[in-house]
Every structure is written in structure tokens, then in C-alpha cells.
Amino acid sequence: MKFFLDTANIDEIRQGVAWGLVDGVTTNPSLVAKEGVGFHDRIKEICALVNGSVSAEVTATDYEGMIKEGHVLAKLHDNVTVKVPLIPDGIRACRTLSQEGIKVNVTLCFSPSQALLAAKSGATFISPFVGRLDDISQDGMQLVGEIVKIYKNYGFPTQVLAASLRHPQHVVQSALAGAHVGTMPFSVLKMLFNHPLTDIGLKKFLADWDKVKDQVLKK
């Protein structure tokens, strides 16, 4: 499974890239707004750091506006994937942009029927929002599994990009469900490292080494 970082924060992306764990980045208007920087400049900055897909979302909600914005975003860098919302005009824009060879991520997906529309329209990625479904007492992970199955049944090339992942179990369950990509906040990526037995084990190894290191190194 590919790991994407769901952030527009440059320091977080730099750290993830230094670990060699970032296959791409997803942003949305809320994440960019949080950074208080120019949208296009930030997307270019991210693209220069990351060797993979960088999702940049349109803010228009009509077909013509999405196409116009999509063209501008796609010209910023080869790594840009244009993100469109799962509404009728977004699905129409997905088809047009995809036919032009522009990569499209269809976002705000909450049902398998919506995911079918995106795949039929040539989307590169579909983004089911796991955490937000869990928030309203539905099973976000079940949706990921159903989309993976439906796409496999028909050989759709659209990649399932599990989004709105809030904790390490969401990442593990997405992998078990066969999602092609999991996009996560930096805090979740960091949590994937954690296990108390790793810390305890390392502490013990170093303590044992400390007791004998002078003798061992002399030999």
C-alpha cells in the first residue's frame, strides 16, 4: 500500500520524505487554509519535495469552473493530481480532465455507488472518507472493502485511496481491505512506529551493552 501524507505542512512532508515513507501528498482547501500561505506556491513547493502524486483540490462547484481551475493546477507541476468533489459536475469534470491525460482524485466519497461513478468516469483515485463515516456511526472501513471488491470485479484501474484515516488501526485495516493508498496526517504516520516492547527491548539491549562494552570493544 502506498502512503500519502494528508497535509500542506512543509516541515511534516520534509520529515516523512527523509524517512523514505512518503509516496504522495493529499491536500484540501481546509489544510491549505491552515498554513496561511499562497495555494499555488505551496503546491509547487510540495511537488518539488515529493516524487509522487500531489492532490490539489478545485474550489469551483460548476463544470466550467472546475475545468478552468483543473487546467491551471495541472500546469503547476507534472506531479499534480486534480481533486474534484463527488457531485454531478465533479464527475463530468473528472471524465473531461482524465480524457485529457490529467490525473484526477475524486474526493468526498461516502458510498459504493458514488465510487462506481468515479471509476466509470476514469478517475485515477477515489477517496472514501473513513473517519467521517465512523463519526456518524457508520462503518467507514466496510466502504473501503466494498469499493476494492467492486473495482476488482470489473477490472477498474481506479485506485482506492483510503482517506480521513485518524489512527494506526485505520491504516492497518485499509491495508487488509486492499486499499491501494492510505492518506494520513503526519501524526498518524508517526504513530505507526510506536510499540512499547520496541522501547523496552532497545533499553535493555543498550543497558546490557553498556555493562560490557569496554571489554568487547578492546578485543
Residues at the site binding ligand G3P, with contacts judged by CB under 6 A? 6, 26, 28, 129, 131-132, 163-164, 166, 183
By C-beta, is 68 or 180 nearer to ligand G3P? Answer: 180
- Catalytic position from the list 34, 44, 83, 190: 83
For 110, residues 6+ apart whose C-beta sits below 8 A from its C-beta are 128, 129, 132, 133, 143
How far is residue 194's CA from residue 214's CA, in Å, rounded to a whole number? 31
Minimal distance, residue 201 CB to ligand G3P, in Å? 33
By C-beta, is 68 or 166 nearer to ligand G3P? Answer: 166
Residue with C-alpha cell 469552473? 65
How far is residue 147's CA from residue 135's CA, in Å, rounded to a whole number? 20
Minimal distance, residue 215 CB to ligand G3P, in Å? 53
How far is residue 82's CA from residue 26's CA, in Å, rounded to a whole number? 10
Minimal distance, residue 71 CB to ligand G3P, in Å? 23
By C-beta, is 9 or 28 nearer to ligand G3P? Answer: 28
Minimal distance, residue 140 CB to ligand G3P, in Å? 10
83 is catalytic: yes
**Apex CA 181: angle with CA 178 and CA 184, to 5°?**
120
By C-beta, is 110 or 156 nearer to ligand G3P? Answer: 110
How far is residue 179's CA from residue 121's CA, in Å, rounded to a whole number? 19
Query: Any idea which residues carry the catalytic annotation?
Result: 83
